[in-house]
Structure 1
Amino acid sequence: MTPRLAHELEVARDLAHRAGQAIMAHYQQDVTVEYKEKREPVTIADREADHLIRTGLQVAFPGDGLLSEEAEDDPARLDKERVWIVDPLDGTTEFIDKTGEFVVQIALTVAGRPVLGVVYQPVHNLVYYAVQGQGASAEQDGRRTELHVSQQRDPSQMCLIASRSHYTGFVDAARHRLGIDSVQRLGSVGLKMGQLSQGACDLYLATRVCKEWDLCAPHAILLEAGGVLTDLWGKVPVYNQPGPA
């Protein structure tokens, strides 16, 4: 019997890989950086990856809704049960700085809940992926590993992962309050939550408002790895909301 959402996963992985290759075609070149609202950077790599993914999803699943960071929002998605949520290049700042810490993120939601997620880091040919009820995996150069979050319960033994470019005093205050000494800093929400999903770190505190496309794909993976994602009040995100930015 074919696993649930097998075709959707195949399409999402293929599009993420192809988008990653399109991004890498610009990676070693000097790219022009433009700025959106709130001084968020965007490049030709973001836009090419976005076009490739959106076109592929619309051809493969014409009845589904779609929300992407780099495309105009279509409110018709709010009436759809199945909605794809895409960040074509999560970590644009890291792409510009050539740190390698950027990913392609593609997620599928059903009734606002993440049921499939793909996070692809093209620099290392590393993909994290999950489907609801089927576990989470990482695959690199043909080698697959099942993902499970850390079982560490002693804060003094935990590793906290934090943003490389958005590190604030709040993170230091929180980790000192919790008694956490070990801190790892990394670009891209997807990569940080990948570290959580594989048990390499124990806790991630986001110090800026994350948008749906930042969280959705890694959230699907984290859930299947046994993790939990909430805001500071314990509320779990529900996706495909009006005004997701």
Structure 2
Amino acid sequence: MSELDIAIAAAKEAGEKILEFRELGFKQKLKSDNSIVTQADISSNEIITNHLSKTGIAICSEESIINDDISEYWLVDPLDGTANFVKNSNDFSILISLISSNKPILSVIYSPVYKQCMSCNGKNIFINGVEISNLRVDISPNILLSGMRKKVDESANLREKIRQNIDGDIISVGSGMKFYKLALGSAGIYIRNKVSHSWDIAAGDLIVQASGGVMVGIKDKKELQYDIKTLRNEPFIALSKENVKYLDKFLKIINS
């Protein structure tokens, strides 16, 4: 099996386990940063780790962080959108990426509920084995993506300003599925106006770029870096391929 095939198999098996917990119930607790972790997170992490360990490549996960000085490693979020999962929302996913020299080179975004697996080998993107070029039919470049938070966050005013300038709509999407929509063209813009954990965005970053879109830092307009020593990235903007030509326009609005 290729490394990407192993990652896909890992995501699918972990997804089945997550759905078992959803049906039968699970325990949860708060981590030191006040985020929620559940039995589903932990079990998913164990399953994915067991699969990925076959490659002999180091594994860094939200639930088992490492910061060794290495140039290649797996980066995993075993249950992205845990808060949504706890609320019985369908808006959660599994994110796996392979990082080499601070860049994602393989990635998987898997939705257990919908059995939808978007994967990227670095150049081509597939959904359940079908190349995305044959699926890109829903082009909605004026849709701006928002997270699922009910409270108004610091990005709300910024999103509204962008929406007014493009005469578009804002839709709420949780977890890595935002990048899924950007790659398909069913949304056009996602702005993250605060620091992100690398495991939340690396898989999506590669998929956005491979689909012809762009994902860069708001302040420096540079591609994001995935340094295992920090595992964080500054605010960024991600655009579908239809909106790449408007990058400078959006950055000007954001930074004004």
TM-score class, shorter-chain normalisation, is 0.7 to 0.9
Q: Which runs of 5+ in 1 are unaligned?
A: 1-5
Which residue in 1 is equivalent to 2:77?
Answer: 87
3-state SS of 1:117 partner: strand
Which residue in 2 is equivalent to 1:235?
Answer: 222
Corresponding residue to 1:137 among 126, 145, 159? 126
Report the alpha carbon displacement of residue 57 of structure 1 after superposing the two structures with TM.
1.1
Give the letter aligned to residue 183 of structure 1.
I
Which residue in 2 is equivalent to 1:174?
Answer: 158
Which residue in 2 is equivalent to 1:110?
Answer: 100
Alpha-carbon spacing, 1:229–1:61, altered in 2? closer, same or farther (3 Å): same
Paired with 1:186 and 1:43, the residues of 2 have a C-alpha distance of 21
Q: Is the 8 A contact 2:125 2:131 kept in 1?
A: no
Alpha-carbon spacing, 1:149–1:91, altered in 2? closer, same or farther (3 Å): farther
Paired with 1:54 and 1:240, the residues of 2 have a C-alpha distance of 20
Corresponding residue to 2:199 among 213, 218, 237? 213
Does 2:77 match 1:66?
no
Identity rate, percent: 25
Paired with 2:138 and 2:223, the residues of 1 have a C-alpha distance of 20
Larger deviation, residues 233-242 vs 123-132:
233-242
Paired with 1:229 and 1:145, the residues of 2 have a C-alpha distance of 19
TM norm structure 1: 0.84
Larger deviation, residues 177-186 vs 82-91:
177-186
CA RMSD in angstroms comes to 2.3
Q: Which runs of 5+ in 2 are unaligned?
A: 233-256
Give the letter aligned to residue 10 of structure 1.
D
How many residues are treated as equivalent by the alignment?
Answer: 227
Does 2:16 match 1:21?
yes
Q: Is the 8 A contact 2:159 2:191 kept in 1?
A: no
Which residue in 1 is equivalent to 2:174?
Answer: 187
1:176-196, CA deviations, whole angstroms, 9 ceiling, x for partnerless residues? 4332440110111x1011111
Q: Is the 8 A contact 2:67 2:228 kept in 1?
A: no
TM norm structure 2: 0.81
Q: Is the 8 A contact 1:167 1:207 kept in 2?
A: no
Does 2:147 match 1:163?
yes
Q: Is the 8 A contact 1:149 1:196 kept in 2?
A: no
Paired with 1:171 and 1:236, the residues of 2 have a C-alpha distance of 21
Q: Is the 8 A contact 1:166 1:207 kept in 2?
A: no
Paired with 2:137 and 2:106, the residues of 1 have a C-alpha distance of 18
3-state SS of 2:217 partner: coil
Give every structure 1 segment of 4 or more consecutive aligned residues whose post-TM-superposition deviation is greater than 4 Å. Answer: 147-152
Paired with 2:97 and 2:111, the residues of 1 have a C-alpha distance of 15
